Amino acid sequence: MYLDDASHLLATLETLQEAADILKTHERSIPSKIFFGDLKARCLILHEDLSLVEKSRFEADIDLIAQMSNHLESVLTREESSWRRGSSSGGFQESRLHAFKEEWETSGNQENPLSKLEIARSWLDLTQDDLPAHVRIRRPPHSVCTAVQSIFKALVACKTCKCKRPHEFDARFRLGTYRKPELDPNLIDFELNFDTFLMWERDWQEAHIKATEETKHKSAVQFVINDGLPTGAAPTKRNETMVRRLCKHIKGMRDIATYRLELKVAKGKLFQLEPTRSTSRVDKTKEAVSLAQVLERPDAVSTRANHILSVLLSSAVLHLHSTPNCIEDPGNGDVGSEDDDSDSGFSDNSDDFDLTSFMCHQSRTIVSLAVVLTELYSGKPFRCLAEEYAVSWDETTSSPTGVRYLNVCEVFAKWKEEVPENTQFLTAVDKCLDRRLWEKENGQPLESDELRTKFYDEVVKRLEVELSQAFSKTPIDELDEKAAELDFGN
């Protein structure tokens, strides 16, 4: 009897695999695709293990068979109707699994005109609450972009000074998704934290900014540092000082190297608060290593680190696109832009006409992301890939942007042919390079909010899904903390 139950369960596992595969193909929801892909894989593993028992002709443990059946039945969402459970022994042929298998096997005939897709959906109809926690992915807050712009403007306003010679300033934000847990609807605000490095006279100073995002309607975004300071409270001389010359405050931190600069932005003004101990894991005694240098070393980045970096880099584009921190300047080495006069197609001093002017991408930043993602997953600098496929590639911006964009597309298309399976990553890069996706019907660029929404759905979320699917112990909401543990320099 137990061997019979094992045989029936084996057959049902095959049916569930087939149903999960069909639903994974037809579902539009990415979290649902993850769930059904996971279900298919688990059914395959169970099938292989149970096959060993069935082939050995040893008696299967009735408790184990019942436990496996109960777990699988919990996936089926249709309630009992025309069938009934029998005795307390729980025979397999009286279970919902058996009813599902029978309906599946009779699909498409005169008695059961339903297609297998319709049957699969009737038995495996998921809601968001049914999905495992690691695949319930929420859209990150849009307010990060607004906060970063406010910080940028406040820093720029304080860079002028009366020093004998002008200073060179730069600012680097730590890569992050800037996600927050589910919020209490009664909260007025919650904090956004920005870890940064400010450069002055070629020295890097660690700085920390806590920004408060308002969840209820107020006049403007407020930024606070101290947890005890009420939101929107007026500055006081006791705990904060208005920054008028940024160089003075950075210079003052040189004597306390183990501390970081604490800043706050309020109503467009920059304030310094009491310095706090540094929490950065950056080893300042070592020379900084760029991502380009890391990619020069074969197998320098693990698969998990690749997935994490992909999400962080795409999140940076999501939050910083069209902000002063991510200006699409023709001289910055990015590729593809509608604003580059050198690629306009017409010239006052020439009768030449450039056909590639019609093939420009609306965002060099998004195309540059596609280049970096391809480098990460191939483990090679893009110029090396271009050489392999005999595609012209110039690291500078001397070639027309339309030509560069088309060359990126050609290199990616040729490399993609060598990748054994289609993945969310490949789809994400395809979306980055689909220039029609990032413009209106009249060929004009998308508005910022529309672009960010589309960029998250088409690019960032796909990379988040792939990370969640490959490494379920790395929840997206905790990714910023996990990423801080990575050491790319070593």
One DSSP character per residue, 332-393 reads: SS----TT-GGGSS-BTTB----GGGGG--S-HHHHHHHHHHHHHHHTS-HHHHHHHTT---
Q: How far is CA 464 from CA 335, 338, 474, in A?
A: 25, 29, 10
- Helix ranges restricted to H, 272-330: 291-295, 303-320
CA atoms of 441 and 430, how far apart (whole Å): 19
| DSSP assignment string, 39-82 | HHHHHHHHHHHHHHHHHHTPPPPHHHHHHHHHHHHTT--PPP-S
**Reported pTM:** 0.65
Q: Would you say 191 and 212 are in contact if contact means Cβ atoms under 8 Å apart?
A: yes
Name the token pair of 119. 């049957």
How distant, in Å, are the alpha carbons of 273, 311, 320 from that of 462? 40, 9, 19
Question: For residues 246 and 155, is the Cβ–Cβ distance under 8 A?
Answer: yes
Q: Kindly provide the b/e burial profile for residues 299-324, where b requires at least 16 CB atoms within 10 angstroms of the residue's own CB.
A: eebeeebbbbbbbbbbbbbbbbbbbe
At residue 121, the pLDDT reads 77
CB atoms within 10 A of CB 386: 21
How much is the pLDDT for 343?
37
Please list, in sequence order, all residues whose beta carbon lies within 8 angstroms of the beta carbon of residue 58, skipping any fewer than 6 positions away: none
The predicted pLDDT at position 411 comes to 95
Torsion of the alpha carbons at 139, 140, 142 and 144, rounded to the nearest 10: -170
Neighbours of 421 (CB within 10 A): 5
What does the CA dihedral 451, 454, 458, 461 come to, rounded to 10 degrees? 100
Residue with tokens 């910083």: 320
Positive or negative torsion for Cα 463, 469, 471, 474: positive
Q: What is the pLDDT of residue 136?
A: 53
- Token output for 219: 């006049």
Q: What Cα–Cα distance (Å) separates residue 70 from each residue in 47, 63, 76, 98, 130?
A: 15, 10, 10, 12, 16
Low-confidence ranges of the chain (pLDDT < 70): 1-5, 28-31, 53-63, 77-94, 108-114, 125-139, 141, 180-191, 211-238, 298, 324-358, 396-400, 488-490
Domain positions in the chain: 2-135, 143-277, 291-483
What Cα–Cα distance (Å) separates residue 172 from each residue in 24, 204, 261, 365, 399?
40, 10, 14, 17, 29
Please name the helix (run of DSSP H) or strand (run of DSSP E) that holds residue 273, with its range, or none.
Answer: strand 269-277
Q: Give the integer Cα–Cα distance in Å for 235 and 241.
A: 8
Separation between Cα atoms, residue 180 and residue 190, nearest integer Å: 9
